Amino acid sequence: MSDSSTQDDSPKKTPSDVTGDSLDELRRLILNREQRELESLREDVEHLTKRPHALTPDEVSDVLPDAIVRRTGQDRQLARALSSTVEEAIQTSVKKDPQPLVDAIFPVIGPAIRKAISNALSSTIQSLNTTLEHSLSLQGLKWRMEAMRTGRPFAEIVLSHTMLYQVDQVFLIHKETGLLLQDVESGNTTVQDADMVSGMLTAIQDFVHDSFTVKKGEQLDTMQVGDLTVWIERGPHAIIAAVVRGAPNQELRVVLQDAVETVHLEMEVAFQDFSGDSGPFAAIRPHLVSCLQIQLAEDEETKAKSPAFWIILCACVISLSIWGFVSTRDAWRWSAYLDLLEDEPGIVVTKTGTRDGLFYVKGLRDPLAPDPATLLSGTGLLLTDVSGEWEPYLAFRPEFIVQRAARLVSLPETAKLTYEDGTLHLSGTAPMIWLKDARERVRYMQGVAGLVEADDFLTEEMGRMLDMQALVENLTIIFPVGSSRLNPGDYRQIETVTNTVRALNSAAAAVAISTQIEIIGHSDSTGSAAMNTLISTRRAMRVRDALVDAGFPASEFIARGVSATVPVDDGSQDRIQEASRRVSFHVLVSDRASDEETRQ
Amino acid sequence: MIQKKICMLGAFAVGKTSLVGRFVRSIFSDKYQTTVGVKIDKKIVSVGDEQVNMMLWDLHGEDEFQKVRMSYLRGASGYLLVADGTRKDTLDIALSLHETIQESVGTIPCILVVNKSDLSDDWEIEKSELDDLATNHWEIIYSSAKSGEGVEEAFQSLARQVV
Ligand SMILES: Nc1nc2c(ncn2[C@@H]2O[C@H](COP(=O)(O)OP(=O)(O)O)[C@@H](O)[C@H]2O)c(=O)[nH]1
Ligand SMILES: [Mg+2]
């Protein structure tokens, strides 16, 4: 390919050779640059024909960084390829001299170890604390028994009972301003006004930091109120505060730390630009949601139950059933008692229930109704089981109106009251003066229109009058055969008549009645009719005269003979005949007022 | 919604708490006030067509003007400097507080509120003194937490300045 080399190899010089030399010279002068380029190309070609795929180190150094970046983006091939070499290199380096590597990782390894140790320690201390806290309590004793029964360590039992917690709410709070950036909740919200709480949490931290001498970097990271714990994890720009119910464990700390770190990683720019607008931070809500963790205590069902458990359970069941029986029985008795009360006239139940462990009844009671306490007997309830509250009231049932009226008017035993259609009805007998007073009194009674006398009612005075009338009409005076003369002994009879008529008169006067007495003469049926009429009339007149002699006005009597027209019928013929020779009396009654009218 | 931290500053008993109470009705963090020395309230106000959630930090404590905790001021967007018109010294305290704040926090929006304007009989702060301040670019609002005068105006005006 190269002409010059073939020409340089010619054995002798000729004039044409001279010409040849100068031509070379000329060629060199004119084509110097091209010639050199050709030379270099020739070398390249030779190089390529010898090792067709090789690159120069220069070329590799040019493309290497780019190539690594590209390849790493595509797959993990490069990392795989390098790993053994890198491992070997590190091993060789450490073998040769460990110091450079120790120096290099020192800033990383210190905090990493510290963090790991502190996490491990704090969970140990936490469980130790809970263990100690519970070892002396009643709860602790129970757990100790459980540990003995199941053969598990006491600390493990304590932990299984205490590791129950739930994160209720998580806040992301801007560190500098205390403003709320985001918050998420589990549904059982503990805190209402998240943005104010956010401010307060910041203020509290400032307060603690300012008020107590704390080392740089130390901060308040736990707050506890009753069952609630607030855990705080902080980053350079924001803090995460988690409101936790129950006893959180260290795993939650790690979750919170992760969340704070991720938020800072993703929101670096938003934090730089923050001026009160929390909108951009909505993007990190999922990280906060991931902090809403629940940790449940071990399932109670799966544990083996001790004999003591079963004994206690049986005792519970038995006492429950006794209690159930007693309370059902009492409830049944109570409702029976209430039924009794409801049925009782003059008692109105307005409220029932239980109060202070007693049955309780409230209502209205007429003073005439029986004492509700007396109704308890027979129900099985005791006076001490029941508390009653009774307001007095007036019942308008007929029996109560009658009872009240009887009390009001001092009803005599001989009389009786009934109530019908708003009116009191009086039967039996009673003195007239009482009746007058009673009429007056019932006028003021509620629900009573008046007092009326029933058909069978008699005043005492009228009763006496009627008695006297009957007495008079029962009297007879017997005469001898064929005579109208009174024997001396008959004057005794006349005296009886006189007294009786006098009593009749006064009884009649008391009831404003005037009386007239018919004196009726009778004869027996023997003898002539004319004679009998005469003798019977005479007998009547004889008695009338005797009465007038005794001081009665003659006008009070009417004397007449009826011969044998009104026979007596009681016994033997002889006795009849004797009884027929008699004088009998009949009382004529008239109202005194109408009597006077007729006289006028 | 935009949130802003606003601080209430001034001598004791000038009416900071009363002004906040008048402005908002929320009574949330009452129970913290004695222990922590700060009570936080909030009220949402409109500035133009923007809503601003004002987080109001009311500092408590009898001698709060002496040792106001600068940490509470951190991140504040503005503050109300409250003086009591019936106590001349409260204005001096307010002004010296202002200086302290400027040194530590820097210049942020602030309004001077001269409170208790309803007690004109006991008035002590000279109008001329306030006029001087006004000419020095102070925004001054007379208020009464009792009658409500100027309260809304003070907070609104500050809200406008901080957004
Ligand atoms: N008359 C009147 N009294 C006020 C006014 N503002 C506050 N006060 C009273 O001043 C006292 C101190 O108020 P307070 O708000 O607790 O002051 P703070 O210490 O600055 O928070 C209280 O007794 C208030 O009732 C006002 O505008 N007018
Ligand atoms: Mg106050």
Closest chain A residue to the Cα of B78, Cα to Cα: A177
Rounded Cα distance between A292 and A281, Å, is 18
ipTM value for the complex = 0.81
The string of pLDDT tens digits covering residues A382-393 is 888 888 888 988
Task: Measure CB to CB from residue B75 to each of A178, A192, A210 and give the nearest one.
Answer: A178
- A336-366 burial, b at 16+ Cβ within 10 Å, e below that, comes to ebbeebeebebbbbeeeeeeeeebbbebbbb
Residue B60, domain CATH: 3.40.50.300
What pLDDT score does B121 carry? Answer: 87
Nearest Cα to A478, choosing from A517, A527, A522? A522
The string of pLDDT tens digits covering residues A351-388 is 888 888 888 889 999 888 888 888 888 888 888 888 88
B67 has pLDDT over 70:
no
> Which is higher by pLDDT, B83 or A133?
B83
Last residue in a domain, options A360, A392, A424: A392
> Which is higher by pLDDT, B109 or A217?
B109
Question: Is the domain of A588 the same as that of A468?
Answer: yes
Which residues span the domain enclosing A413?
398-456
What pLDDT score does B79 carry? Answer: 93
What pLDDT score does B3 carry? Answer: 93
User: Distance from A215 to chain B by nearest Cα, in Å?
Assistant: 17
Residue A516 backbone dihedrals phi, psi, to 5 degrees: -135, 145
Last residue in a domain, options A240, A275, A300: A300
Average pLDDT over residues A47-61: 73
A178 has pLDDT over 80:
yes
Q: Kindly report the number of other CB atoms within 10 A of residue B78's CB atom.
A: 20
Work out the percent of chain A whose per-residue pLDDT is above 70.
83
Q: Given pLDDT bands bounded at 50, 70 and 90, which one contains residue A217? A: low
Question: Is the domain of A171 the same as that of A273?
Answer: yes
Is B139 a pocket residue for ligand 1 (Cβ < 6 Å)?
no
**Contact call for residues A209 and B41 (beta carbons, < 8 A):** no
Q: Given pLDDT bands bounded at 50, 70 and 90, which one contains residue B156? A: very high
Residue A503, domain CATH: 3.30.1330.60
Question: Tokens 């009386």 belong to which residue?
Answer: A515
Which of A179, A198, A204 to mutate to test binding with chain B, by most B CBs within 10 Å of its CB? A179
Nearest Cα to B43, choosing from A199, A451, A510? A199
The string of pLDDT tens digits covering residues B104-142 is 888 999 999 999 999 988 889 988 888 888 888 899 999
Interface of A with B in 130-189 (CB under 8 A): 174, 176-180
Which residues span the domain enclosing B17?
2-162
Element (H, E) at B115: strand B110-115
Question: Is the domain of A384 the same as that of A406?
Answer: no
Last residue in a domain, options A300, A320, A336: A300
Task: Measure CB to CB from residue B37 to each of A176, A177, A207 and give the nearest one.
Answer: A207
B86 has pLDDT over 90:
yes
**Contact call for residues A205 and A219 (beta carbons, < 8 A):** yes
Question: Is the domain of A441 the same as that of A465?
Answer: no
What pLDDT score does B54 carry? Answer: 94
Is residue A26 included in any domain, yes or no? no
Is residue A556 included in any domain, yes or no? yes
What pLDDT score does A119 carry? Answer: 63
Task: Measure CB to CB from residue B71 to each of A193, A195, A210 and give the nearest one.
Answer: A210
The string of pLDDT tens digits covering residues A540-568 is 999 999 899 889 999 999 999 988 887 77
Rounded Cα distance between A389 and A412, Å, is 36
Is B86 a pocket residue for ligand 1 (Cβ < 6 Å)?
no
Rounded Cα distance between A38 and A46, Å, is 12
What pLDDT score does A179 carry? Answer: 92
The total of structural domains in chain B comes to 1
Taking CB atoms and an 8 Å cut-off, how many pairs form between chains A and B? 74
User: Distance from A316 to chain B by nearest Cα, in Å?
Assistant: 44
Is residue A3 included in any domain, yes or no? no
Rounded Cα distance between A239 and B103, Å, is 27
* pTM recorded for the entire structure: 0.44
